[in-house]
Structure 1
Amino acid sequence: MANTYTQIHIQTVFAVEDRQSLINPNWKDELYKYITGIIQNYNHKVLQINGMPDHIHILLGMRPTQSISELMKQIKQDSSKWINTRRLVRGKFSWQSGYGAFSYSKSQVHGVIQYIVNQEEHHKTKSFVEEYVELLKESGVDYDERYILKPVI
């Protein structure tokens, strides 16, 4: 739309079904490239992507042409299919339902990029659930404990 200007920075966080550590270091970079392609196909821009074997963080510059829920549906659906078609895991791969989405101003983008880049270091001292709850609280998001991602038993 002519004369429309936006600056929308969103960090999304989502986990593997049952928080299983299925994202293998041998193919995670290829997965990240594939997810980046999905996002770019919808004319959004990936600013940073990284994660751990059980979850992924993506910081993106979003265009107002699509809802975050629709984009997340496509990312999770298409990347699951990509993993399953290549038989990269035993059994069927799927993402846990739901996701976190957090907005940031331009002045916060660099810090969020560094946070995502340093996931491996960060998770030496903090579990994914602790991290996720911290993100929810920092962003002022009301949440129901029943729906917070539970650790693998």
Structure 2
Amino acid sequence: MKPGTFTQLYIQMVFAVDFRKALLTKEIRPQVFKYIGGIINDLGHKTIIVNGVSDHVHAFVGLNPKISISDTVHDIKRSSSLFINDNQLSNFHFKWQPGFGAFSYSRSHIDNVYKYIQNQEEHHKKEKFKTEYIKFLKKFEVEYDERYLFEFMD
């Protein structure tokens, strides 16, 4: 980055397991989320928290502006899929659904976003992923076409 460039960018990325499969079991989540955090850091971002449930992941990062969000999510998905499959962490072939959501926050929101992501398991006892995701899109005023949303588990 050029001298005199200063940024403070906080992004929450959300992506889902392919074919609506709940393959991120409780047993493998800590290892997978730690691995995803490592990918994020290796790309020059700062991992704040990575967490999720069986069918999707939330990654909250301090963004390195030299690397696009799309490239970041692509690298996370590619590397973590290889990691899960090469280490046989799932009984099925693992891959992520196409697409992702990315939402920006100010520094004052870090604590609330962290707690929200930290409590995903409790949160999803009350609210389905589809409802959560559509709420994000509406809250951030993101235009979307339902035909291109994730395939959600019911």
Confirm whether residue 24 of structure 1 aligns to residue 25 of structure 2. yes
Confirm whether residue 114 of structure 1 aligns to residue 109 of structure 2. no
Deviations 1:98-126 (A, max 9, x none): 00000001111111111101111111111
Overall identity of the aligned pairs, in %: 44
Cα RMSD for the two superposed structures: 1.0
Contact 1:19 1:55 in 2 (8 A): no
Confirm whether residue 4 of structure 1 aligns to residue 5 of structure 2. yes
Distance across 2 between alignment mates of 1:5 and 1:24: 39
Match of 1:126 in 2: 127
Q: Cα offset for 1:27?
A: 1.7
Moved over 6 A (4+): none
Unaligned runs of 5+ in 2: none
Match of 1:51 in 2: 52
Contact 1:10 1:59 in 2 (8 A): yes
- For residue 10 of structure 1, give the secondary structure of its aligned residue in structure 2: strand
Give TM-score, length-normalised by structure 1.
0.96
Match of 2:105 in 1: 104
Contact 1:31 1:79 in 2 (8 A): yes
Unaligned runs of 5+ in 1: none
- For residue 37 of structure 1, give the secondary structure of its aligned residue in structure 2: helix
Distance across 1 between alignment mates of 2:3 and 2:34: 31
- For residue 52 of structure 2, give the secondary structure of its aligned residue in structure 1: strand
Contact 2:85 2:93 in 1 (8 A): yes
Distance across 2 between alignment mates of 1:75 and 1:137: 25
Confirm whether residue 93 of structure 1 aligns to residue 94 of structure 2. yes
